[in-house]
Amino acid sequence: KAKPIEFYEQANLDTQVLSNIRRVHFEEPTPAAFLLPIISNLIEYYSNELHDKHNPPSSLCLILSPTRELALQTEREARKFAYQTAVILYTFCCWCGHDMFDICHRLREGCHILSAPTGRLKDMLEKHRISLTKVKYFVLDQTNQSEKKLLLFSSISLLAQHFIRGNYIFLVVGKHDAPNEDIAQTIEEVSNAFKKDRLFQLLEQNLSMKKIFISKFRFFCLESERCLIFVETN
């Protein structure tokens, strides 16, 4: 019969991991407590991989999180327990302000424990930026948060009604199938041969010549005023 573990000293953890637990005053288990046996086992059973100086570190543990915030939080907790050990950790996320080149460079340097959100991991695997062939431990962290939501917009609403059955929410902003009241729409029929000339005429009428320079192939706005043109093809 298995006996419950009442003290961390009874868990057969690595001595440095136990020292780190005391250092951070980790008295009661938290959701990140699963890291303790993983780090201890890496130190005990994969010492050669941890101390390999000839090859970049390989990912031996993959922790998959539903959000980047949780992935970063997991890495912060893991660093506390892996302090002064040979275990290298890394979390790769990407959002506004992060340089993708720096992330790819950091991944090439390698790590032993990789904490990642699902979407970013899938993207990196498809681009062959990362390998998981040597993973020994795989953790799905808080999978109950991974809810699948499908959002369909605008012109595909009829298509959505054809494929989606049962319970769904249809949200309309303003009047359904009505043009925006703040946008003036003018339709002018022009033959294909005169479309470009007519376009330049309209630009000259609506943007003063001081603000626009028209060449044979393109036009340039010289000040902050802008004009948006929709075309069917390039």
Q: pLDDT digits over 123-144, tens only?
A: 888 888 888 899 999 988 876 5
Q: What pLDDT was estimated at residue 161?
A: 64
Q: Per-residue pLDDT averaged across 71-75, rounded?
A: 87
Q: Per-residue pLDDT averaged across 133-160, rounded?
A: 67
Q: What pLDDT was estimated at residue 137?
A: 92
Q: What pLDDT was estimated at residue 96?
A: 41
Q: What pLDDT was estimated at residue 176?
A: 64
Q: What pLDDT was estimated at residue 97?
A: 45
pTM of the full structure: 0.57
Q: Which two structure tokens, joined as six digits, stand for 206? A: 């609506």
Q: In what order do the strands lie in the sheet with 61-65?
A: 89-91, 113-117, 61-65, 137-140
CA distances from 24 to 20, 73, 77, 83, 113 (A): 6, 15, 10, 10, 20
Q: Per-residue pLDDT averaged across 153-159, rounded?
A: 54
Confidence band, pLDDT 50/70/90 cuts, at residue 42: very high
Confidence band, pLDDT 50/70/90 cuts, at residue 216: very low
Amino acid in position 48:
N
Q: In CATH, which superfamily holds the domain spanning 8-145?
A: P-loop containing nucleotide triphosphate hydrolases (3.40.50.300)
pLDDT at 147 over 70: no
Confidence band, pLDDT 50/70/90 cuts, at residue 122: confident
Q: Are 121 and 50 in contact (CB under 8 A)?
A: no
Q: Is 152 exposed, middle or buried (0-12, 13-18, 19+ CB in 10 A)?
A: middle
pLDDT at 163 over 50: yes
Place of tokens 């001081």: 210
Q: Per-residue pLDDT averaged across 168-193, rounded?
A: 74
Rounded to whole angstroms, the Cα distance separating 152 from 224 reads: 34
Q: What percent of the chain has pLDDT over 70?
A: 69
Residues in a beta bridge with 115: 63, 91
Outline which parts of the chain fall under CATH 3.40.50.300: 8-145
Query: Where is average pLDDT lowest: 2-11, 31-40, 109-118, 192-201?
Result: 2-11
DSSP string, the chain: -PPPP-SGGGGT--HHHHHHHHHTT--S--GGGGHHHHHHHHHHH-HHHHT-SSSPPP--EEEEESSHHHHHHHHHHHHHHTTTSS--EEE----TT--HHHHHHHHHH--SEEEEEHHHHHHHHHTT----TT--EEEE-SGGG--------GGGHHHHHHH--SS-----SSSTT---TTS--------GGGHHHHHHHHHHHHS-TTTEEE-SS-EEE-SS-------S--
Instruction: State CA 122 to chain mean position distance.
Output: 9
Q: What pLDDT was estimated at residue 17?
A: 92
The chain-wide mean pLDDT, for the chain, equals 77
Q: What pLDDT was estimated at residue 217?
A: 47
